[in-house]
Chains A and B, each alone.
Chain A
């Protein structure tokens, strides 16, 4: 009945339906009140103004004869590749070099004589997630991205651009960390093998990077980097220095390890970041002008 009340007020009901609605209205005060609301809206909408005459069609035909239709533009097949190449040029070299240097330092540390069993894995697990999270924090936002304004003015979706760039940076850090694990295993610093080494950092790296990404998109790069480093410092402290109270540290360790839950959480955070990225500006960007 509700739907028909709208159509009744709009005058778009057929004869038979009109009669049925009127019959119902006579005995239903609720519907009469509801109809009054719709009638107000109909009144506010106004009636259709007189349309222009058939001259308008002549004008359209004239335009059709004079103006060629615009060709349908489609993205070429190599669009994805060219987007990746273009984005690769926008990732700052200093970020790449710094990531590689920190990772190399990690390899040197891991290859040093082991202080205890699993030393090499712990060192890589300390370095790789922070390197990736810091790299991710540096890829988005008006102050970190030299081409931010230009990119924002292109028709390509900001989500696609962010996803491409994250994929690039994360892939780079992933390759670095894999190489580091390979080197550490090759020099025989860790007897447990490459697989164990990779498992030590892979889950935490994905989770910390995804968390960093959400914060970058939501509030900005500085906060994201700070939060990522603090969270990771807490995790590292939980590895030995802090005293375990009531099994809290076990939960922390489980949360920062390579398992299905961490991977799924990271994927979920990535989805959240993508949704936020399409919604416009991070909180902090509204204050573009600094007050003294």
Chain B
């Protein structure tokens, strides 16, 4: 599996677009799950995923085998996500406040993006670096060691972020009165 990926990536580096498609099909589910959790909405996640594939197409030759292909791909995706999310335009000036906005508010949007339950909505409230770890561990299903490699932090840091996220989630659910 891993050696297949490395071979695919070598073919991508030589300009084989079919290999890029196969690489995409093998990893898009996990990458997209992670990006969706990080970005919060489907459209942005798709844009970042396309940025990621563009970056992979252009820089496949720089993969030197120092990490697994999966780690490398998630690293590329993470960089693209931060490029795009950091460059996100600021929220538009506020509308007049005297009438209710019929569009769903940020809470509803976050809940909808995260799967439609209030428990899932609580995830959207967590800070970026917590949501990122949750996305990598639970949505993308990476082993903790690989998560640590993608983020460039020790495994212990990954664990402590997970514990913090779990405690924060429990607090949110307790204040919202959602039965566990």
**A residues whose Cβ falls under 8 Å from a Cβ of B:** 2-3, 6-7, 9-12, 37-38, 40-52, 54, 56-57, 59-61, 63-64, 69
Query: Is there contact, CB below 8 Å, between A51 and B31?
Result: yes
Instruction: Beyond the given A10-B137, A37-B170, please list 13 additional residue pairs across the A-B interface where CB-CB is below 8 A.
Output: A2-B159, A10-B141, A40-B166, A44-B122, A45-B37, A48-B30, A48-B32, A51-B29, A51-B32, A56-B49, A57-B24, A60-B57, A64-B54
**A54 to chain B: closest residue by CB:** B21
User: Interface SS of chain B: helix, strand, loop or mixed?
Assistant: helix
Query: Is there contact, CB below 8 Å, between B138 and A52?
Result: no
CA distance A61 to B32 in the complex (A): 18
Query: Is there contact, CB below 8 Å, between B20 and A41?
Result: no
Interface pick from B2-10, B92-100, B101-109, B113-121 = B113-121
> B24 contacts which chain A residues (CB < 8 A)?
54, 56-57
**B145 to chain A: closest residue by CB:** A3
Pick the contact of A6 from B32, B120, B137, B170 — CB < 8 Å? B137
Report if B140 contacts A (CB, 8 A).
yes
A46-B144 contact, Cβ under 8 Å, with A51-B29, A54-B21? no
Query: Is there contact, CB below 8 Å, between B134 and A38?
Result: no
Query: Is there contact, CB below 8 Å, between A45 and B134?
Result: yes
CA distance A9 to B165 in the complex (A): 15
Query: Is there contact, CB below 8 Å, between B180 and A40?
Result: yes
Say which size band chain B's interface belongs to. 35 or more
Instruction: Name the distance in Å between B175's Cβ and chain A's nearest Cβ.
Output: 15
A-contact bits for B166-179, CB 8 A (1 contact / 0 none): 10011000000000
* Chain B residues numbered 146-162 whose CB sits less than 8 Å from any CB in chain A: 155, 159, 162
> A59 contacts which chain B residues (CB < 8 A)?
50
- Number of A-B residue pairs, CB cutoff 8 Å, is 114
Query: Is there contact, CB below 8 Å, between A63 and B50?
Result: yes
Interface CB pairs A-B, < 8 A, 21 = A3-B155, A3-B159, A7-B143, A37-B170, A40-B170, A41-B134, A41-B169, A42-B138, A43-B119, A44-B119, A45-B134, A45-B138, A45-B139, A48-B139, A51-B32, A51-B49, A56-B24, A60-B51, A61-B20, A63-B50, A64-B57
Report if B58 contacts A (CB, 8 A).
yes
Report if B33 contacts A (CB, 8 A).
yes
Instruction: Name the distance in Å between A194's Cβ and chain B's nearest Cβ.
Output: 51
> A49 contacts which chain B residues (CB < 8 A)?
32-33, 36, 42
Query: Is there contact, CB below 8 Å, between B165 and A41?
Result: yes
Instruction: Name the distance in Å between B57's Cβ and chain A's nearest Cβ.
Output: 5
Query: Is there contact, CB below 8 Å, between B53 and A45?
Result: no
Report if B123 contacts A (CB, 8 A).
yes
